[in-house]
Amino acid sequence: MKIAVVGLGLIGGSMALVLKQKGFASKVLGVDNQEVHAQKALELGIVDEITDLASAIAGSDLVILSAPVSVCAALLPEILDQVKHQIVFDTGSTKMSLLNAVKGHVNRGRYIATHPMWGTEFSGPEAATLDSFDGRANVICDAADSDKDALETVEKVYTLLGMYNVYMNGKDHDVHVAYVSHISHITSFALANTVLEKEKEENAIFELASAGFESTVRLAKSSPAMWMPIFKQNKENVLDVLNEHITQLRKFKSCIEKENWAYLTELMENANKIKDVLDRK
């Protein structure tokens, strides 16, 4: 099958590598508005050819839209305008902006809204890897609005990537990812800014930062070009989770100010319950 990848970063590049290795992709056409990314993807063998969007759509059977969500929302209707037999799916971290952008489109059935729940703090084609998606969940949203053959093909793609599929509507998806993904990034960005603001001695950060700090702040290395559109597209849900997070921080602050060590212990013990949820995996 001939595949077009629009957006040659971590996710799109990794998908191209795995699908080529598995023999599913006979040819990969690449599209990226950053020339340096396009050439690097070609140099690394992620894609076989760099082309423009229209040529990529016409020359492929499957289009993977893996650009920032704001770009995806703008491009998706244009892509669907040009498809005939082609199947299109995106990999964006929010779904409602894309679903609303193509609601009622004559070729809506050729599109599948997906969100592979995997990523790292790195970006660009150099970050693409074969060791990526195994054992992770992929969310497929509003599956009933997609053509059966298109849905089955995309399900097969994610199975080949080593992922398992979870199904939900787009609105629920955007609420859930605000709580389990987006808040993690905001917290990491904020923690990094806190340390950079208060700890002016860079050597102290470098030498004293423990593994716990590094793991907590790791996501602060993520690309602002990717995450700003996500926060913008999912604004209401992100604000909701931020309000709750701030409430929780105030509880901890109040306990320490008032030396309420019993309640502080209770808060931490309650937080320990997350282990039971995560250990179900």
Domain span at residue 195 reads 173-278
Structural domains of the chain, count:
2
pLDDT, position 281: 59
Domain boundary among 105, 139, 168: 168
Residue ranges of the chain with pLDDT lower than 70? 204-211, 281
Residues 75 and 57 in one domain: yes
Clarify whether residues 205 and 223 are in a common domain.
yes
- C-alpha angle with apex 113: 112 to 114, nearest 5 degrees? 110
Query: Beta-carbon neighbour count of residue 8 at 10 Å?
Result: 30
Q: Are residues 30 and 60 in the same domain?
A: yes
- If asked whether residues 127 and 206 sit together in one domain, one would say no
Last residue of a domain, one of 168, 197, 216: 168
Residue 28 shares a structural domain with residue 6: yes
pLDDT of residue 180: 87
User: Is residue 159 located within the same domain as residue 211?
Assistant: no
6/110 same-domain check: yes
> Looking at residue 129, which CATH number applies to its domain?
3.40.50.720
- In a shared domain, residues 140 and 210: no
Q: Which residues pair with 63 in a beta bridge?
A: 4, 88
Structure tokens at 17: 């590598």
Look at residue 159 in the predicted model and tell me its pLDDT. 96
Same-domain pairing of 131 and 55: yes
pLDDT value at position 218? 84
pLDDT of residue 208: 67
Question: Nearest-CA neighbor of 24 among 164, 162, 132, 156?
Answer: 156
Model pLDDT for residues 101-157, shown as the tens digit of each residue: 999 999 999 999 999 998 777 788 998 898 889 999 999 999 999 999 999 999 999
User: What are 137's two structure tokens?
Assistant: 């969940």
Q: Are residues 193 and 231 in the same domain?
A: yes
The residue among 127, 151, 168 that closes a domain is 168
What is the distance of C-alpha 244 from the center of its chain? 23
* 227 and 158 in a common domain: no
Among 52, 30, 228, 27, smallest CA distance to 128 is for: 30
pTM here is 0.84
CATH number at residue 218: 1.10.3660.10
Asked whether residue 113 falls in the same domain as residue 155, the answer is yes
